[in-house]
Amino acid sequence: MSGTGGVRNRQVKPYRRYKPLPALIVIGALGLVAAFVWVNAISSNEDLQEAMRCTPGPTPTEGVQYSPQPYDALATTQPTPPDRVAVRVLNATGTRGQAAMTTEGLRQLGFTQIAEPENDPAYADVEANCHGQIRYGDNGEGAARAALLIDPCMELVKDNRQDATVDLAVGTQFNDARLTPATKDVLNRLTEWSEQNRNTGDSEQSAGRGPNIDQELLDDTVPEFC
């Protein structure tokens, strides 16, 4: 009996109610922070896209169709080694010799399959107010990604060409190739791979065994602002 009496005398603590208000405040604050980050990211992307856009837009010659692309259209595309990129520099400015100087600069960076520079027929009577444009077709995405390393603030423009050639049109805001450490690293790795596979031509790349640059390193070549 004494044992049961001990149980009766034990004091039971009352259930403690927790107010949900502090937790709701924390959740609400985290939601606001997430929304701010999301809106800020969208705004930054839109600002970057706007900064890259050339004004006025290019005027296509007969039979050519231009389709401006998002600035990150080639973000996950593996670049072609520079010595395997068939590129032509076009002068979309009123400054004489700009395309010739850029051509020589590209050659020094390893773009050896480079055509003679020309004036840009898409900007025959006006200047392209921008860093410039990289024009390419469906088969030249890797080559265009390599050309974009030269100036990642250039606008990407897809056209209806069938080959893998690339046109690099120099705009009024282009001031030579200013390579970041990440860009230099990517170009060095591409060049090294090409030298090790010199006798394979483009067969290795077409078979999916081309250079595989780490995506994080490629992301480091994308500018935060232009």
pLDDT tens per residue, range 26-85: 455 444 433 333 333 334 567 899 999 999 999 999 999 999 999 999 999 999 999 999
Mean pLDDT of 113-120: 98
Residue 36 lies in a domain: no
What's the pLDDT at 2?
45
What is the pTM for the complete model shown? 0.77
Residue 42 lies in a domain: no
Residue 131 to residue 173: CA distance in whole angstroms: 4
Range of the domain at 116: 67-219
> Smallest Cα–Cα separation from 89: which of 109, 69, 104?
104
Residue 208 lies in a domain: yes
Residue 112 to residue 85: CA distance in whole angstroms: 8
Inform me whether the pLDDT recorded for 25 exceeds 80.
no
What's the pLDDT at 3?
47
> How many separate helices (H) and strands (E) can be counted in the chain?
7, 6
Residue 5 lies in a domain: no
Helix or strand or coil: residue 67? Answer: strand
Residue 13 lies in a domain: no
**Count of structural domains, the chain:** 1
What's the pLDDT at 176?
78
What's the pLDDT at 125?
94
What confidence category does residue 95 fall into, taking pLDDT thresholds of 50, 70 and 90?
Answer: very high
Residue 19 lies in a domain: no
